[in-house]
Amino acid sequence: MTSVLHVAPTGSDLADGADGSPFRTINRAARVAQPGDTVIVHAGEYREWVKPRHGGLSDSRRITYQAAEGEHVVIKGSERITDWVNDGGTVWKAVVGNALFGDFNPYAEQVEGDWVVRPMSGIHLGEVYLNGRSFYEVGSRTEVDRPAERTTVVDDRTQTTVRVHDVEQTRFVWFASVDLETTTIWANFQGADPNTETAEINVRRSVFYPTEHHLDYITVRGFELAHAACPWTPPTADQPALIGPNWAKGWIIEDNTIHDAKCSAISLGKEASTGNNLAAQRGDKPGYQYQLQSVFAARQIGWDREHIGSHIVRRNTIHDCGQNAIVGHLGCVFSTIEDNHIYNIATKREFYGHEIAGIKLHAAIDVTIRHNRIHDTTLGIWLDWQTQGTRVSRNLLYANNRDIYVEVSHGPYLLEHNVFGSPVSIEVMSQGGAFVNNLICGTVVVVAVPERPTPYHRPHSTQVAGYAAIHAGDDRYIGNVFLGGDIASAYGPGSRDGEVAGYGTAFYNGHPTSLASYIALVGDPSKGDHNRFEDVKQPVYIRDNVYGPGATPFEGEQGAVQADVTATVIDEGDHVYLSASGFDAVRIPAVSGRDLPPVRIVDAEFEEPDGTPAILDVDLVGVRKTEGPAGPLTNPGQRVQVW
């Protein structure tokens, strides 16, 4: 028999949770809730780390946590501090007993781990907020009095300085000192009184995150979730976040507003037993090797469709996080990420490492990333390792440093009906991709990575089928619209070799245009079994794309058209519009997996998760088509609402 449990700020944890006798804390309800139960949380502010004790048994017998209809429920990992003492001018001091933090003091824990690049020390997981605005940490008490007037912004691709400028918000800064019994925090509130305004500090690592594995089939719906002191989440470590399933199956995270995670907001990622920052701790092997080991270790603890993944993350607004909006290695398999609005990710630039993006997934096997709006991030989507059966459909990316990066994967993966609207649109250090009906406003980069062989899998499975080097190519481009531009303005001076970055597809020049041609090129057995493949470019399949002024087609393309195409993304807050012209220069039938040659290394087709051929007949705004112009819209025009 299922139950409905109620939680309210006016309740008591000694109550029974009935409608007229609610619990006071969500954690009390979490201890009681059983499969099939619903926990309804009423309006108010809850400062706790919700740690579910039980999971559901199936999709129809899940445990659901939801905000009461029409009520605003906030769950925070912070605490409000109201006993600040003025310490001179605009600087205030708070002395906090360490008992507030328990066994995890975020002001003693640094942002560190595998692939952290800078700073190597000094940035902690703690945070100070004034009326919801996060501050910047500085390195000494003296700097709190004299906040930096200027800051250096470093390009995340090249590690070169691209600009130095005044940053007004860095004047809101803090510094902390931790001893055995207390944590002292100094903060420059710039004239505000923190005892009368809302001044908060990070206290808890997470906000909604189980401490045990395999608590399956949980739904979290309709909350505002904020202020988590969660750690750096590389793919070779435990990946805790503000909210996540912690190595489980079948979660639904929907209709929430999630913000101010120190590192990652939502984790669909791995756990610690398969590796936990061993490259940084030991220094004996590269992170690449530990990551490879983690794949095989995960198989030994039940990494498969029956036990892990199949999550849904939808209709959330996720913003102002230091590392990722959504992160996951291994645990994200078979999941769907759709209809989310993601922005202001890693834009504070307090720390940097090689795992930062709006959505950063490793081993995204049969993952669908559909109809998300992603802007104002240092990198929109980063698909890294084992991108196989992955489908990126109908997404709107713009105003990012870079839009999408696919790294060391063998495919098949599919990017279709997306807008890549930033100056740097697509970076590919992979093979086996298909790019269909996209608007590509910026540059495209394709790079071979033969020194990092990576695994591939049996189709629609986590079972490893082999591993191979990345030689680039084996890609398909059909019905895309490429705008032209200037390489220097997209990348900055000296940041990219023009031979590997360009507008259009001409960087594939020299690749054969069929598998038969490729086989003929590698057909000399006197060169040795593997040596004859090493320096031969893989085939590419490119047709029916539209190229604007300054964009250049692949020399072997059939049906390429040069046209005076234009496109502008217009952001008006709640709504986004696309103004486009010239896309009708090419019209093509809707593409299916049958139109896309299988990938060479994996020997796999472009399929739906059920094994049927992929169907690509829905455009950016949901219009179903049988044929249409190049690009993501069936009916492009001067002002089409796309969000």
- In sequence order, the 6+-apart residues with CB closer than 8 A to the CB of 415 are 392, 393, 404, 426, 433, 434, 435, 436, 438
Q: Which two tokens stand for residue 7?
A: 């939680």
Q: Cβ(381)–Cβ(369) under 8 Å?
A: yes
Can you name the residues that pair with 435 across neighbouring β-strands? 415, 477
Can you name the residues that pair with 418 across neighbouring β-strands? none
Residue with tokens 């590796």: 275
Phi, psi (rounded to 5 degrees) for 38: -125, 130
Dihedral (Cα; 401, 403, 405, 406), 10-degree rounding:
180
Residue pLDDT, tens place only, 61-78 = 999 999 999 999 999 999
Q: Which pLDDT score, from 0 to 100, does residue 160 have? A: 41
Q: Which pLDDT score, from 0 to 100, does residue 527 have? A: 87
**pLDDT higher than 80, residue 114:** yes
Surface-to-core class of residue 535, CB atoms within 10 Å of its CB (0-12 exposed, 13-18 middle, 19+ buried): exposed
Nearest to 185 by CA among 90, 85, 102, 103: 85
Kindly report the number of other CB atoms within 10 A of residue 641's CB atom: 11
What does the alpha-carbon distance between residue 379 and residue 329 come to, in Å, rounded to a whole number?
17
Residue pLDDT, tens place only, 537-591 = 999 999 999 999 999 999 999 999 999 999 999 999 999 999 999 999 999 999 9
What does the alpha-carbon distance between residue 83 and residue 63 come to, in Å, rounded to a whole number?
39
Residue pLDDT, tens place only, 265-310 = 999 999 999 999 999 999 999 999 999 999 999 999 999 999 999 9
Q: Which pLDDT score, from 0 to 100, does residue 492 have? A: 56
Residue pLDDT, tens place only, 587-604 = 999 999 999 999 999 999
362/121: higher pLDDT: 362
Q: Which pLDDT score, from 0 to 100, does residue 490 have? A: 66
* Beta pairing class for 443-446 and 501-502: antiparallel
In the predicted model, what is the mean pLDDT of residues 366-380?
A: 98
Our separate counts of H helices and E strands in the chain read 6, 56
If you write DSSP's letter for every residue of 530-570 in order, what string do you get? TGGGTTPPPP-EEES-EE-TT-B--TT-BS-EE---EEEEE
Write down how long the chain is: 643
Residue pLDDT, tens place only, 169-189 = 447 999 999 999 999 999 999
Summary mean pLDDT of the chain: 94
272 to 122, 123, 279: CA distances (angstroms): 24, 23, 13
In the predicted model, what is the mean pLDDT of residues 394-399?
A: 98
Nearest to 369 by CA among 378, 357, 359: 359
Q: Which pLDDT score, from 0 to 100, does residue 491 have? A: 63
Secondary structure letter of residue 231 according to DSSP? P
Helix (H, G, I), strand (E, B), or coil: what is residue 379? coil
Q: Which pLDDT score, from 0 to 100, does residue 146 have? A: 79
Q: Which pLDDT score, from 0 to 100, does residue 165 have? A: 36
**pLDDT higher than 80, residue 4:** yes
**pTM for this one?**
0.95
Identify the helix (H) or strand (E) that includes residue 490: helix 487-491
If you write DSSP's letter for every residue of 281-332 in order, what string do you get? HH-SS-HHHHHHHHHHHHHHTT-STTTSB--EEES-EEEEESSEEEEEESTT
Confidence band of 148 (pLDDT split at 50, 70, 90): low
